[in-house]
Amino acid sequence: MSFDREVIQITLLSLQVSGIATTASLLLGLPFGTWLALGDFRGRSFILSIINTGMALPPVVVGLVVAMSLWRSGPLGDLRLIYTPWAIVLAQTIIAAPVVTGLTAAALESLDPRLQQQLLGLGASRIQMILHLWREARLPLLAALMAGFGSVISEVGASMMVGGNIRGQTRVLTTAIVLETSKGEFERALALSALLLILTYLINLALTWIQQRGVKR
């Protein structure tokens, strides 16, 4: 497949949208997952159960809710984000955030609970303790990041519903594959699929390399 301008534009938009959504889910999921892991309050188990349920949220359901919210008559209609890349970012963030949150909480809960008391006993502040716990759990936290990215780069249902698959504006690799398949252009669909797999592999390869470097330290 020749890398024409449209294919490059679709690829770059896919990476941009999924990258922003993954970063947003990390900024939301890391502190929230940490709060759930270290907190001891009533209703904690209930919140964790909601987060765990959110890890299996069907993308089409997320797409429907976001589309209804961003529609002209919806509560966020005045923002005029429907059928824009930012609508896809919002939907993908909602999909990835529970994944990052749940895996972050599980990673920190797997640490020795005595470690917190030792750090505080040595004079560490609350922030210093959390930073050290993140460092201790950096390998599963990187796995959480990879899982969050994987959940959005391969997502199609929500992106189609809130983005509209508009050529040159909101068409990403997954929605382009669906379009080419519906047109019977199987060779082009296979080429785009191969490109998506290669990009996903390269990004996860880089993250795995970082993760394995942490193992050797």
Q: In this structure, what token pair is assigned to residue 130?
A: 């959390």
| pLDDT confidence bin for 193, thresholds 50/70/90 | very high
Q: For 105-124, give the DSSP string.
A: HHHHHTS-THHHHHHHHTT-
pLDDT score at 217 = 57
Under 8 Å CB-to-CB from 205, ≥6 apart: which residues?
A: none
Give, as one character, the DSSP assignment of residue 167: T
| pLDDT confidence bin for 215, thresholds 50/70/90 | low
Average pLDDT value over all residues in the chain: 90
For 4, phi then psi, to 5°, come to -75, 175
Verdict on whether the full-model pTM lies above 0.85: yes
pLDDT score at 61 = 93
pLDDT score at 89 = 96
Burial class (CB in 10 A: 0-12, 13-18, 19+), 18: buried
Q: What are the structural domains, with CATH classification, of the chain?
A: 16-167 (1.10.3720.10)
The alpha carbon dihedral of 82, 86, 89, 95 has a sign of negative
pLDDT tens-digit map of 180-189: 999 999 988 9
Average pLDDT over residues 161-180: 92
Report the percentage of the chain scoring pLDDT > 90.
60
Average pLDDT over residues 162-186: 92
Q: Which residue bears the tokens 């640490």?
A: 111
Average pLDDT over residues 13-25: 95
Q: Note whether 84 and 99 are within 8 A (CB).
A: no
Q: Note whether 104 and 39 are within 8 A (CB).
A: no
pLDDT score at 208 = 84
